[in-house]
Amino acid sequence: MIRTFTLLASVLLFAGCAHQLSGSGPSLGDLDAATVASTGPVQVVNIDAAVASRLQAQRRSQSFADGLKAEGRFSEIGLGDTIEVTIWEAPPATLFGGAAVDVRAPSTTRGTQFPEQVVDRAGQISVPFAGRIQVAGLSPQAVEAQIIQRLKGKANQPEVLVRVLRNASSTVTVVGEVANSIRVPLTPSGERLLDVLAAAGGVRQSVNKTTLQITRGRTAIAMSLDTVIRDPDQNVRLQAGDVVTALTQPYSFTALGATGRNEEIAFEAQGLSLAQALARAGGLNDSRASARGVFLFRFESAQALDWPKSPVASTPDGQVPVVYRIDLTDPASFFVMQNFMINHRDVLYVSNAPAAELQKFLNLIFSIAYPVLTTISVTR
């Protein structure tokens, strides 16, 4: 009788400690409690079509076509450019005379071609009888008009041609995982992203593993090379001072809990949907997983969504800790998952089902109770 009482006491003791059983993470009940909690720094958001669409729209706003503001003109003269100036006079020429024959003008006129000049730090060049001319920031046509204005009353019906022989200021720098890191001069036609990438000899890695980043001033936007090739709108015109960086740094997310694989999983630069991420993690473990307990842990920008909790707590760099939840018992969730994209360093977690927690507890009880019952039976 005493032994039986001891057995029952042990069972009750373990029953009282059932909630302390080890697991791979928070239970579905713990996360449900976090969902309804009104305080705390973590935002808990249910994934639905509206949330997926809002986040997708933000991704599009961070594309090259929408996120890079074109401000510069492609035909401006800049510091360090090499300029050539040629001047003609109508006969009789009173100021200029030269040996160079103008191929555009009538055969009775001859042009004077001046030595090449490099635009100095003040943004100026020197033209005989016209003095110092400010050329930086102007088009060749604007400089021609300025020289003609200076020569009025000095030369007989002057005509001027200004050519940029070597472009040293309007360049784009291409670095990273390319065949050759170079500076590509821009022409008035306006080179596009893939043009300068080709000038650098192309990328070293495969297209679907390469990310392109354009840095313009204080703005830096990254997109996969595969997306740029497939979407002509993303093959944007570049402007002076842009830096194009080719990156092959792998993206990854971490799968934890009741999934087929608990590990860090790499994915390609063009992106990965939540449905694809679950598949790469081996899906849900049939014997453990809760279809209602699929969660994604992520840091979002404070402007990403209308947060359910107020005030919104954020990290020192302005990121909001968010737990996204999706219920796979709802058939509509399988469509939503295809439009919800995974970010680099996301944590995908699938909680154990309550029945799995109960099974673990019962296994523990029987592992203790069975030897005791066996001992009692033998001693009798």
On whether the CB atoms of residues 278 and 263 are closer than 8 A, the answer is: no
CA distance 199 to 36: 56
**CB-based burial label for 131 (10 Å; 0-12, 13-18, 19+):** exposed
Q: What is the pLDDT of residues 142-190, one digit of tens each?
A: 999 999 999 998 888 899 999 999 888 888 999 999 999 999 988 878 8
CA distance 37 to 93: 90
Task: Report whether pLDDT(361) > 50.
Answer: no
Q: Comparing 95 with 107, which gets the higher pLDDT? A: 95
DSSP state letter for 93 = P
pLDDT band at 193 (very low <50, low <70, confident <90, very high): very high
CA distance 240 to 222: 18
Domains of the chain: 20-46+251-359 (3.10.560.10), 64-72+170-247 (3.10.560.10), 82-166 (3.30.1950.10)
DSSP state letter for 48 = -
Token pair in block for residue 42: 């973590």
- Determine the distance from the C-alpha atom of residue 233 to the mean position of all C-alpha atoms in its chain, rounded to a whole number: 16
pLDDT band at 270 (very low <50, low <70, confident <90, very high): confident
Provide the pLDDT for residue 246.
Answer: 95
Where does the chain show beta strands of DSSP type E? 43-46, 82-88, 100-101, 110-113, 117-118, 124-127, 131-134, 159-166, 171-176, 182-185, 211-216, 219-224, 243-247, 251-257, 263-267, 289-301, 319-326, 347-352
Q: What is the pLDDT of residues 93-102, one digit of tens each?
A: 778 765 444 4
In the chain, DSSP finds a helix count (H) and a strand count (E) of: 10, 18
Q: Comparing 279 with 15, which gets the higher pLDDT? A: 279
DSSP state letter for 180 = S
